[in-house]
Amino acid sequence: MGNSSVVRWTNSKKGRFLAQCLAACVALAILTWVGFALRLNLATASFLYLLLVVMMALLCGFWQASITSVLAVGCLDYFFTQPLLHFVMTDPQEVVALGAFEVTTIVISRLSAKELRSSREAAAHRVAMEQLYELSRNSLLLDMHQAPGPQLVVLIHRIFGVQAVDLFDLNLGRQDRAGEWNEGEVNLARDCCQRGEAGDDPESETWRRILLAGSEPVGALVMRGKLSPLVVDALASLAAIAIDRHQSFEKEERAETASKGEQLRAAVMDALAHEFKTPLTAVQTASSGLLELGELSGAQRDLVNLIDGEAVRLNQLCTRLLLTAKLETEELGLKTGDVNVQELISEVLADSPDPPEKGRIKVHVDDPSLTLHADRGLLGMILAQYLENARKYAIPDSPIEIAARRSRTEVLISVHNFGPTIRIEDRERIFDRFYRAPGIKDTVPGTGIGLSVVRKAAEAHHGHVWVISDEKEGTTFFLSLPAAARRKL
């Protein structure tokens, strides 16, 4: 037998047991030869054998110590009781002494082996806790800008010394491996996650766990090596936490990037609005002056009217941009007072830039004396924006209805029209600044600013806005404001 074969044999569990028993036999033979040569009595030889049994129990285990004790009794009977060199005992006291020796050695072996096992388990538990602490500390230092899988498998493989690690991240759809795996074990973690099958295989020392964040699976972890089930569960929990942290970090990073982009875009638009105000005022003044001078041909007057109208529209757009900025930073002080809703609607309709369309607009106010405590300018701007949207998106010549009514706690104002249906996923987002619903933004011109100003103005009054849209019932925009006056606006 070669050296490598001997090493493999002694490293196996059965080989270690036989090697320890052989060592005990050699030690017994040496003690027996020394004791017989020195003509030791039964008591002294028994004490030496007892020491050997205790050493075997402490170093090797219960069964090795028990075998040693049985062989020790045989040696005592053969070499140290009369008649010598015979397995015969004539003195009853010697029988009692050997019996007591065997019972004592077995009890001591049992207690020693139990203590040995407890100390080994405690040592293994302490090592496992230290390894888990090191892994948890290192997992907190993971680079969240990169996928956690490659970092985790390297840490687990290095810290716990397992044979192989396989981690599947469901959020990223990637699988990372470390250590030595067989050719047929390429997708163990992925299959474990997709099938939802977790379990242990003690013979091959393979451990499978589904990684959960709350009650939702986020991946799977498969390991091969000497580990306790408790340590495997702890490793699975740490891996799930790391994957969930990475997902949260990605969401926060995307939100922060979007927020910074929105802030930059808003700052640029607000700056441009300020810069546009002066030249637009000059253009509007010049066009109005040309109209006042007269002496223009019909075509010239039409062109000047067009310039004047578009200048007014650009000026209103700049005003809305600046108003949005002030509402977002809460720099706008509301000038509140009692506002009659029906009168306000009439004022907004009178200021409408498209008088020919006024006939299609129907107004329904339950109570002509309905009054709100609000900022008249902002409330009129909300109604004007709702009407402008209704005119732009409504089917030509279809009716537009404005309604207002009061409930016990709020005043509800609505503007209804028939036109393109707004998708459910867009009904909240159309109130975001610069957002325009797909399919509509390419057919109807717009900036995506008006409704965002509406929402900010409503929130400044402690109210809220929303929209419902149906192909049969049409589209209705709502404004809800508290019926009771708020003293702090």
- pLDDT per residue of the chain (489 residues) written in tens, 0 to 9: 444 444 444 456 677 778 887 887 888 888 888 877 888 887 787 778 777 877 777 777 777 777 777 788 778 777 777 777 777 666 676 667 667 777 777 777 777 777 777 777 777 778 878 888 888 888 888 888 888 889 999 999 898 888 899 999 988 889 998 888 887 787 888 888 888 888 888 788 888 999 988 888 889 999 998 888 888 888 889 899 999 888 888 888 877 776 666 565 555 555 555 566 667 777 777 777 777 776 777 787 778 778 877 777 777 666 666 666 555 555 556 778 888 989 998 888 887 655 545 568 889 998 888 888 888 888 888 898 888 888 888 888 888 999 999 888 889 999 999 988 888 888 888 888 777 777 666 666 666 777 888 888 888 888 999 999 988 889 999 999 987 644 444
Residues 326, 354 within the same domain: no
Q: How much is the pLDDT for 91?
A: 65
- Does one domain contain both 468 and 346? yes
262 shares its domain with 348: no
159 and 283 inside one domain: yes
Strand order in the sheet with 164-169: 174-179, 164-169, 216-224, 206-213, 199-201
Does 131 reside within a domain?
A: no
200-208 long-range CB contacts below 8 Å, 24 or more apart?
Answer: 200/229, 200/232, 205/163, 207/232
In a domain? residue 206: yes
Residue 194 and residue 57 share a domain: no
For residue 209, the domain's CATH number is 3.30.450
Paired with 168 in beta bridges are 175, 220
How many other CB atoms sit within 10 Å of the CB of residue 445?
Answer: 8
Are residues 71 and 155 located together in one domain of the fold? no
Region for residue 85 given its phi and psi (left: phi exceeds 0; alpha: psi -120 to 50; beta: otherwise): left
- In this prediction, residue 376 carries a pLDDT of 86
Question: Does a structural domain hold residue 169?
Answer: yes
Task: Look at residues 198, 180, 201 and name the one whose alpha carbon lies nearest to residue 189.
Answer: 198
Half-sphere exposure at residue 116, Cβ-oriented, CA atoms within 13 angstroms: 17
Kindly report the length of the chain: 489
| Domain end marker among 266, 299, 332 | 332
Q: Which CATH number do you get for residue 348?
A: 3.30.565.10
55 and 160 belong to one structural domain:
no
**Does residue 135 fall inside a structural domain?**
no
Q: How many CB atoms within 10 Å of residue 306?
A: 11
CB 188 within 8 A of CB 210: no
Question: Over the range 466-487, which residues count as b (16 or more CB within 10 Å of their CB) and which as e?
Answer: ebebeeeebbbbbbbbebeeee
Domain boundary among 278, 307, 332: 332
Question: 3-state SS of the chain?
Answer: CCHHHHHHHHHCHHHHHHHHHHHHHHHHHHHHHHHHHCCCCHHHHHHHHHHHHHHHHHHCCHHHHHHHHHHHHHHHHHHHCCCCCCCCCCCHHHHHHHHHHHHHHHHHHHHHHHHHHHHHHHHHHHHHHHHHHHHHHHHHCCCCCCCHHHHHHHHHHHHHCCCEEEEEECCCCEEEEEECCCCCCCCHHHHHHHHCCCEEECCCCEEEEEEEECCEEEEEEEEECCCCHHHHHHHHHHHHHHHHHHHHHHHHHHHHHHHHHHHHHHHHHHHHHHHHHHHHHHHHHHHHHHHHHCCCCHHHHHHHHHHHHHHHHHHHHHHHHHHHHHHHCCCCCCCEEEEEHHHHHHHHHHCCCCHHHHHHEEEEECCCCCEEEEEHHHHHHHHHHHHHHHHHHCCCCCCEEEEEEECCCEEEEEEEECCCCCCHHHCCHHHCCCCCCCCCCCCCCCCCCHHHHHHHHHHHCCCEEEEEEECCCEEEEEEEEECCCCCCC
Amino acid at 105: T
Q: How many domains does the chain have?
A: 3
Is residue 345 included in any domain, yes or no? yes
Do 165 and 106 share a domain, yes or no? no
Domain assignment present for residue 137? The answer is no
Same domain, 327 and 407: no
Residue 38 contacts residue 63 (beta carbons within 8 Å): no
Q: How many C-beta atoms surround the C-beta of residue 452 within 10 A?
A: 23
What pLDDT, on the 0 to 100 scale, is given for residue 478?
93
The encoded tokens of residue 159 equal: 């810290």
In a domain, 487, yes or no: no
Quick check: is 133 in a domain? no
Do 286 and 188 lie in one domain? The reply is: yes
312/421 same-domain check: no
Identify whether residues 462 and 319 lie together within a single domain.
no
Whole-structure pTM value:
0.46
> Is 467:475 a contact under the CB 8 Å cutoff?
yes
Calpha distance 383→414 (Å, rounded): 9
- The residue range of the domain holding 171 is 145-332
In sequence order, which residues have a C-beta less than 8 Å from that of residue 96 and are 6 or more positions away? Answer: none
Task: Tell which of 95, 125, 155 closes a domain.
Answer: 125
Structure token digits, residue 249: 């970090």
pLDDT at 468: 92
Spatial distance between the Cα atoms of 478 and 463, rounded to a whole number of angstroms: 11
